[in-house]
A and B are shown apart, each in its own frame.
Chain A
Amino acid sequence: MTAESVSASPVRFDSVTKRYRGADSVAVEELSFEVPAGEICVLVGPSGCGKTTALRMVNRTVEMTSGDIQIGGRSVKEGDPARLRREIGYVIQQIGLFPHRTISQNIGTVPALLGWEKEKIAARSAELLKLIGLDPEYGDRYPAQLSGGQQQRVGVARALAVDPPVMLMDEPFGAIDPINRSRLQNEFLRLQAELKKTVLFVTHDVDEAIKMGDRVAVLKKGGHLAQYATPTELLMEPADDFVEDFVGADRALKRLALMRVRDVDLWTAPLAQAGDPAEAVRTAVAAAEVPHALLVDGENRPLGWLSNRDLAGEQVPAIPDSAADPLIDADSVLRDGLATLLQSGSLYAPVIDARGRLSGVLSVEIVSDFLASDEASESELTAAERPHD
């Protein structure tokens, strides 16, 4: 999970301070934390908290007043800033693609600066286009011909071009509409699962922080680190009132986005197939967790709920009184499972796997039990492995 690969380096902030000339207050004060290689660290906080300033000190677009930042053990202050930046991927909110160059040329900017051969650059551009999910023909188009979401993806590809050990992302999806933002976030997480880069990600949106981060650094005004923890810890044990307020009153519910339905202990309902003796089923129902029987087919796929009337006769009927709906996908997040239950007004819903076969039954009680327990911290996943739709 946190394997140190050649293409990812750890980043370390050591008492980093930034004071602007002539300003009374400090923008960033004695910020210290460490991001292990291959992880996404999200810097989040209200505006003016110094998160963007902190990010920009890593590639020296802002110079720190005191302290040090180290990438893979080497201080960023060594050497020429321009050379440092060529080894760091940089994605900004307004993207900033070069309008006068084609998409391929944009992606190949840093390789060209480093003097790669033309064929190598072209090959790499093509490879990255594929990685971000754009057809090869887009390579010859100009930025003005792409949508905002496509442009942002190209921005990410451009940042990845020389396989940098560290990526800096400054509210990269902030200017995108919410629907596409979600898609872009998911795509980036899929990418990260493959590439495992060290990423410093700035956002003001705590939900994005929880979704994207392996670790989250919550900053207060003046660049003070309020808490540096995994999303789960953040939600379950906010360090102080500020963090608690910032995370939001619904933090308990936010945890539901971090868990898959199949990872909780589901209840079992008595199962019956058409033609089974009704007497046995009635007995099973009386003793079961879920006081209703599910009609299933030979493959264990739920066909419907059996009512008392259904079970009144000799045999289990082929057509049940109530439909099996709503069905819950075992791979979906607990939050969506709860939403389905609440919307349909049901207490229970069958949970099915990818092939439609029954995994168990989800109930509202299961969800509330989960929220009350400490289960989550044991089954913690990295951001890339966590469920996202």
Chain B
Amino acid sequence: MIEAAVNENFFTDRSGGGCIQDNRLFCPGWVADNYDRYVDPTLQHLVLVGSAVAAGFLIAFALAIFAHRHRWLQTPFLAGTGVLYTIPSISFFFLLLPITGRGALTAIIALTAFNLQIIFRNVTNGLRNVPSNVTEAATGIGMTPAQILWRVELPLALPEIIAGLRIATVSTVALATLAVFANGGGLGTEIVTGSNITFKTGIIVAGSIAVIMAILFDAVLLLIGKLLAPWKRKQALA
């Protein structure tokens, strides 16, 4: 059913004996002996996620800033990124097939397209939620619109932007497991390995790595968000 690279060594480098033969749910012995096979896929996965989120952020952020100045663009941009979000990534991989072929680039483009709406929406809402008296004061004080955007509106929108980034990143980590179908590498290669997708231990390990990666990314972004927004932490005095 699956046409993918057949890993000949798969069945011969097993250890863990009976656990593997019976394909029990989780074989720690095998994992201990074979953990290094997960290094490359994990690194590939990191590259996929990092590139897709970075590209998605750059594009969506630029779109949002532009639409902040020209409000009428917000609805069409939202709709456009919405279409890209709705199209399943697998579909996207193969729609890109005639243009970028199969490989990591295709996967990254598809994952980036998935990210756009989440980030765009959060940047736009974050900017919109800046209290009007603050922007009024900023104008009256003598800030140019560009200065207001970069020194007042964006810093205040930061918490919401970071929230959007967190959602986008976690979702992308999960979705990037599908990159294997575009020949893009990643942890999916350890789930759909060879002609055998029933190797339970392998699935569990690869899946767990993905989940842990997502949690770590989330925590790091959360921390960065807190560091960049110290005013949010202070409680108002009585």
In the complex, A touching B (Cβ < 8 A): yes
Residue contact B142 to A110, C-beta cutoff 8 Å: yes
Residue contact B156 to A100, C-beta cutoff 8 Å: yes
A98 touches B (CB below 8 Å): yes
A2 touches B (CB below 8 Å): no
Residue contact B231 to A86, C-beta cutoff 8 Å: no
Residue contact B142 to A86, C-beta cutoff 8 Å: yes
A323 touches B (CB below 8 Å): no
Please give, as numbers and ranges, the residues of chain A lying within 8 Å of B131 by CB-CB distance. 96, 99
A195 touches B (CB below 8 Å): no
Please give, as numbers and ranges, the residues of chain A lying within 8 Å of B231 by CB-CB distance. 99-101, 142-144
A287 touches B (CB below 8 Å): no
Residue contact A85 to B141, C-beta cutoff 8 Å: yes
**What range describes how many residues of A lie at the interface?**
20 to 34
Complex: chain A residue closest to B156, CB-CB: A100
Q: In the bound complex, what is the Cα–Cα distance between A332 and B158 (angstroms)?
A: 53
B141 to chain A, nearest CB (A): 6
Question: Which residues, 85 to 129 on A, are CB-close (under 8 Å) to B?
Answer: 85-88, 90, 92, 94-101, 109-110, 113
Contact with B along A165-183 (1 / 0, CB 8 A): 0001000000000000000
A347 touches B (CB below 8 Å): no
Please give, as numbers and ranges, the residues of chain B lying within 8 Å of A85 by CB-CB distance. 139-142
Q: In the bound complex, what is the Cα–Cα distance between A160 and B227 (angstroms)?
A: 31
A76 to chain B, nearest CB (A): 13
A139 to chain B, nearest CB (A): 14
Complex: chain A residue closest to B145, CB-CB: A82
Question: Which residues, 118 to 167 on A, are CB-close (under 8 Å) to B?
Answer: 141-147, 155, 158
Q: In the bound complex, what is the Cα–Cα distance between A88 and B139 (angstroms)?
A: 12
Please give, as numbers and ranges, the residues of chain B lying within 8 Å of A94 by CB-CB distance. 133, 136
Please give, as numbers and ranges, the residues of chain B lying within 8 Å of A110 by CB-CB distance. 141-142
Q: A92 and B140 in contact (CB under 8 A), knowing A113-B147, A142-B231?
A: yes
Q: A96 and B142 in contact (CB under 8 A), knowing A142-B231, A145-B236, A146-B237?
A: no
Contact with B along A60-99 (1 / 0, CB 8 A): 0100000000000000000000111111101010111111
A59 touches B (CB below 8 Å): yes
Residue contact B143 to A145, C-beta cutoff 8 Å: no
B51 to chain A, nearest CB (A): 30
Q: In the bound complex, what is the Cα–Cα distance between A87 and B133 (angstroms)?
A: 20
Residue contact A144 to B142, C-beta cutoff 8 Å: no
A101 to chain B, nearest CB (A): 8
B229 touches A (CB below 8 Å): yes
A163 to chain B, nearest CB (A): 14
Residue contact A97 to B236, C-beta cutoff 8 Å: no
Residue contact B237 to A109, C-beta cutoff 8 Å: no
Contact with A along B190-230 (1 / 0, CB 8 A): 00000000000000000000000000000000000000011
Among A87, A90, A98, contact of B140 (Cβ-Cβ < 8 Å): A90
Residue contact A158 to B141, C-beta cutoff 8 Å: yes
Please give, as numbers and ranges, the residues of chain B lying within 8 Å of A84 by CB-CB distance. 142
Q: Which 3 A-B pairs have the closest CB atoms?
A: A96-B137, A85-B142, A86-B142
Q: Which B residues are closer than 8 A to A by beta carbons?
A: 131, 133-144, 147, 152, 155-156, 229-231, 234-237
Q: Which A residues are closer than 8 A to B by beta carbons?
A: 59, 61, 82-88, 90, 92, 94-101, 109-110, 113, 141-147, 155, 158, 168
